[in-house]
Amino acid sequence: IGHTKSLAYEPWPLYDREKIIEEKVEVVLQVNGKVRSRLLVARGTSEKELEDLARQDPNIQRHTNGKRISRMIVVRNKLVNIVLANP
């Protein structure tokens, strides 16, 4: 085609790591380890706010209605697991 240099000797393209970070993340909501819902929230949402959003979710309310929550496990930007107490 008329080029004198091989493509094998060209440098890799550069990129900016800041531009590939997602601003919103999907957080999985679980009850006793089973996925019951998902939320799309801003990256870095606090654990307290994730707990509140999980409690307000209609599908989570359906599975926890009338039951005692013994523990809430929150992993920021990943999941909220609600552990129910045995009756």
Q: What is the pLDDT of residues 13-32, one digit of tens each?
A: 898 988 888 899 999 999 99
User: In angstroms, what CA-CA distances link 51 with 5, 16, 39, 72, 81?
Assistant: 58, 33, 12, 8, 9
pLDDT digits (tens, 9 = 90+) for 45-69: 999 999 999 999 999 999 999 999 9
Q: How many CA atoms lie within 13 A of 13 on its CB side?
A: 3
